[in-house]
Amino acid sequence: MTSQLGLQRLIADRTYHDLVTSKGLSWTPPAMRRRKWTYIFTLTREEQDRLEWTGDGLFSSALISVMHQVFPGRPSTFYPPIHKALSQNCIFAALWVNAGVPRAEVEAHPKAYADMLEVIVAVYVDDGDLEPLKVWVKRTFYPLLYIARKAMMEYHTRAYSPATFEVTPLFETSRQKRRRSENNSPTPQQGHQGKRARSREVTTAFGEVTNLGLVALASSSRIVPQALPVSDPETPPKPMIKYSMHEPTSPSIGTSRHRPIDLSFSP
């Protein structure tokens, strides 16, 4: 068990480092119609939680399928460490850094950014086919899978001690995913205090006490980027803030045919 956790930590750390430092990796959220982006920014907390849970499952299924496409016929023990490592909140958060959101901003709200990605995945799929999501996951995670495989080979050829292994601060103490169970939900007697206690349970290494509460405050708190890809561009409103997207340096890595445009949403 300890060795598996050490392997997952190594894979996640190597992947995180490449995402936030490499100029050869380029990522953007999936292109969606403007109405879907608008919907995301008007969600209630209950809708956020539901979509976050749905997006988590959809992404997990798509990633498993893509892993078997990229690395077919591997032993059953090959896939779980990579899958668990690439499903970490720190990896989802690092994608936003790669997309152009300031690193300090993401590291101040790592779980919020991870939750946002899960909501985007759920809204992107909606009630439709999973195949478009698999295409997007393969385009985004194809280079990351090879980074993960390289880390796995490194782990098996060198001796690592989980007690002394140095990892990125974002990954070191952040949780993979908060457990969604009745035990985490406040009782009727707890009321508002129960909700505050639940928030503390998902506190990250950076002291964040929110999951997707950012959506209602997206524009005012500037937690999410205002440059988002849309599949039916219209005349955009005047942008309130802009984050530059990385220009892809290789056509084989994380490219997108959809031109990002600036969107802004008033609080």
Question: So where are the chain's domains?
Answer: 2-175+190-262
| CA-based torsion, 176, 182, 188, 189: positive or negative | negative
**Residue-level pLDDT at 230:** 63
**Residue-level pLDDT at 27:** 83
Residues with Cβ within 8 Å of 24's Cβ and at least 6 positions away in sequence, in order, are 249, 250, 253
Query: How far apart, in whole angstroms, are the C-alpha atoms of residue 254 and residue 259?
Result: 14
Q: How many CB atoms lie within 10 A of CB 15?
A: 27
Query: How far apart, in whole angstroms, are the C-alpha atoms of residue 2 and residue 223?
Result: 35
Quote the longest CA-to-CA distance of the chain.
56
Contact between 49 and 248 (Cβ < 8 Å): no
**Residue-level pLDDT at 228:** 60
pTM over 0.75: no
**β-pairing verdict for 227-229 and 260-262:** antiparallel
> Tens digits of per-residue pLDDT, 121-167?
999 999 888 999 999 999 999 999 999 999 988 888 875 544 444 44
**Per-residue CA distances from 128 to 52, 57, 58, 77 (Å):** 17, 15, 12, 31
Amino acid at 188: P
**Residue-level pLDDT at 216:** 34
**Residue-level pLDDT at 127:** 81
Q: Which residues of the chain have pLDDT under 70?
A: 1-2, 159-267
